[in-house]
Chains A and B, each alone.
Chain A
Amino acid sequence: MITPKIKVLRSHGIQYIPDLCDVTLSEEFRGRPILTQTDDMTKVESAAKICPTKAISVAPFSLDLGKCLFCGECALCAPENIRFTNDFKMATTKREALVIKPEDERVEFHHEAVRPVVRKLFGKALKLRQVSAAGDASVEMELNATGNVNFDFGRYGVDFTASPRHSDGVVITGPISKAMAEPLQICYDAVPDPKVLIVCGSEACSGGLYADSKAVDRSFLASHDVDLWIPGAPSHPMAFIDGVMNLMGLKHER
């Protein structure tokens, strides 16, 4: 009975990432893009035309990561103007900081926009309640992964709770379906004050492919202030970890 377990354990070895501040993703990973303005912008025009979520603006040239689904098709259309890097550090406190402009070399985090109470109360531990509001299960699985044996974000006191009563804030995924608008509001109200609000994934940031769908109701976001915007389709676990660590003041990058 014990031999098979020893075998599993031996093969398993050590899996956790020793330093969550020192992670480089695969070269192929499509993260933060770099834009380059050129004299001839016709290729960008065709890229903007094919973009499934209209995330690209030609004049002035910009790309909205809050809408971008990172399919990478625009970079194939206009390789001289758009290039995706493997940089996962895209979370920010301001929605407008997600709009990338030519020669931007990072997504500004805007530490000054973090409410002082957030770092004072949640700087050492942050318990979150996640609400999936028509998310397609991929962002949800990536959030689950932040606590798994590889990422082990729990080492910084960040966990997801079963009840909103036990949590310090809400993480929303998905474009927010009409049917989830009310449960989301009830859940948010059940979290004791003060609380944080995190929006995870491009679909949650902008509605993504479903921004104009009649089955979606995004009025919650119009009436609540968001503390952290995390783009991605889905957001990589490292994008979430990097953003939350910056929010808590555990790291002061960007």
Chain B
Amino acid sequence: MIYYVTDNSAHSVALSDIPEVEYAALYNDLKERLQEQRYHIAHYFATPVGNRLKFYLLLLDDKEHKVMLSSFAMDYYDDVALPSLTALHPQLHPFEREISELYNVEFDSNPWNKPLRFSFDRRNRNSTIDTYPFYTIEGDSLHEVNVGPIHAGIIEPGAFRFICNGENVLHLEIALGYQHRGVEKEFSSTDNRLRQTLLAESIAGDSAVAHATTYAGVIEKLLQSPTNENLIKERAVALELERMAMHIADTGALSMDIGYQLGQVACEALRTMTINTTQAWCGNRFGKGLIRPSGTNKPLTEAKRKMILDNVAEISRRYDEVRLDINSSPTILARFEECGIVPKEEMYRIGGVGMAARASGATRDIRSSHPFGAFAQGYVDHQSVVKKQGDVMARLMVRANEVLQSAEYIRDILNSYDVSEEYSHPDYTSALTPNALSFALTEGWRGEICHVAITDEKGSIETYKIKEPSLHNWLALALAVRGEGISDFPICNKSFNLSYCGHDL
């Protein structure tokens, strides 16, 4: 057996149960398997164990709802080159690049093994972010446009290099790493579980609930403690509120960029109302403080339950009016339609996830393929919103429909929520299962989030790996703008709204 087969709601896995195979066996299997769209890689990383470098791989089977774990190892100072899987399946590129950057592992015939984020603990310290050689193309008619790392607005830093032919973008290269804070190392250098929870909330501030939920999932699987019904429901409400807030914010941002001021201000007000609802529940507009492992400090009261129900109904009603206005305005459609197209096959090839993938017809959605929490318990019957076109308009309409869908889910969950039930307090102290691997997959508003923890013989977290959906989708943005006018870059960018800090960690 090459894989240990489990799923997203099972307990943690004993390290000894994960098969350690030859790289060649894994390579040959994935070479064939990844040609099928039902499979994709959720995580693939290396971690030093004694004098060895141990590699773990999490493969998702969307059709059978299974997670397949495998591993291989090599000597820490081995300098054999492994045949690159990225060369066959580009979706592996961020993983192989990270492994190379951190441990100097060579991947033979990897088409472009550029550093992923210039991690502080990278092997080659001579390779630095400010001397990074961007890809260039020779030609008298071509010119380059350099943007960043500091951008014109109030957003995170990252460097973009456009190669343009006149007004049109021939190629865009995105160089990231400016936001690197060493998040993963901070996780494994503390046993203070409250500190780890706050670290999870800070991975990407606009997805604080999604990342904290994923972290809580990882810990609860290591505690082997069942979570109660109300806690599961509250987390689903918080996650869908976060999805609504960010989709509305991006509808507003897209409106702003095409000079559609009415949509912009309406969405600004509606986003304010959404995050103020979260604040009135938990004291923070981004839901920080709400998600805690094995319990909560902010149980819903009857007054809060009613407040959320009323606000969400109002937001949903008013947002739908904006959606109808967009759909009936030819000047808006002229800007959004057929702009920034990423075809479905391309999305699958590069491993695109989340709402951006669904806008291209690639049905990647953890809520249905590897259900967790309320989606696994059947409190919500989730149907993914999928569009075919893959353009800015399709991404906007996936967002628009998901806002309305999330509002319905929140209503349904809260209508069956019993406030008189006892609630559990957070657990920061119980011992974690030793020598185990625990993972959790969550569908945040951007898409698939995957956290993996490996514990040592004392039950301390030895390795913590985080995957933000942006890790896959940045390449989708670079492909979306090819052939477009450079003036359409802002709307292409905002239609994805990817995370810099979540990528750079």
Contact = CB atoms under 8 A, between A and B. Distances in A.
Contact of A50 (B179, B185, B276, B428): B428
Contacts of A160: 153-154
Nearest to A232: B284
A11 to B, nearest CB: 5
B34 interface: no
Q: Which of A30, A53, A233 has the most CB of B within 10 A?
A: A233
Nearest to A150: B272
B225 interface: no
Q: Which of A8, A11, A69, A210 has the most CB of B within 10 A?
A: A8
Nearest to A139: B205
Nearest to A131: B150
| B contact residues, range | 35 or more
A236 B178 contact: no
B157 A214 contact: no
B52 interface: no
Nearest to B264: A149
B483 interface: no
A179 B177 contact: yes
Contacts of B388: none
B116 interface: no
B73 interface: no
Interface in B188-215: 192, 194-195, 198-199, 202-206, 208
Given A7-B325, A50-B428, A132-B154, A149 B265 contact: yes
A106 B157 CA distance: 35
Given A28-B279, A215-B180, A50 B194 contact: yes
A249 B365 CA distance: 52
Interface string A152-187: 000000001011000000000011011110110001
A109 interface: no
Nearest to B326: A4
A139 B297 CA distance: 23
B204 A137 contact: yes
Interface string A58-91: 0000000000011111001000000010000000
Nearest to B156: A132
B281 interface: yes
A26 B280 contact: yes
Nearest to A144: B154
Contacts of A182: 130
B495 interface: no
Contact of A73 (B121, B182, B186, B194): B194
B283 A213 contact: no
A174 B180 CA distance: 11
A236 B275 CA distance: 12
Given A11-B318, A214-B120, A177 B178 contact: yes
Contacts of B288: 69-71, 138, 233
A200 to B, nearest CB: 10
Interface string A171-214: 00011011110110001000000000000000100001110011
B120 A215 contact: yes
A141 B206 contact: yes
Nearest to B246: A141
Contacts of B322: 8
B179 A134 contact: yes
Contacts of B281: 28
Given A12-B269, A214-B121, A135 B325 contact: no
Contact of B279 (A11, A29, A145, A233): A29
15 contacts: A4-B321, A4-B329, A5-B325, A12-B265, A28-B282, A50-B194, A70-B284, A72-B297, A137-B155, A138-B206, A140-B205, A179-B179, A183-B178, A187-B150, A213-B181
Interface of A: 1, 4-5, 7-9, 11-12, 15, 25-26, 28-30, 50, 52-53, 69-73, 76, 84, 130-145, 148-150, 160, 162-163, 174-175, 177-180, 182-183, 187, 203, 208-210, 213-216, 233-234, 236
Given A30-B284, A84-B283, A179-B130, 20 more contacts: A1-B328, A7-B321, A7-B325, A8-B325, A11-B318, A11-B321, A28-B279, A28-B282, A70-B289, A72-B297, A135-B156, A145-B268, A149-B265, A177-B178, A177-B180, A208-B202, A209-B202, A213-B185, A214-B182, A215-B182
Interface of B: 118-121, 129-130, 149-150, 152-157, 177-182, 185-186, 192, 194-195, 198-199, 202-206, 208, 249, 262-263, 265-266, 268-269, 272, 276, 279-286, 288-289, 297, 317-318, 321-322, 324-325, 328-330, 428, 499-501, 504
Q: List 8 tightest A-B contacts by C-beta distance, closest first.
A: A138-B205, A136-B205, A52-B195, A215-B182, A162-B152, A4-B325, A215-B120, A28-B283
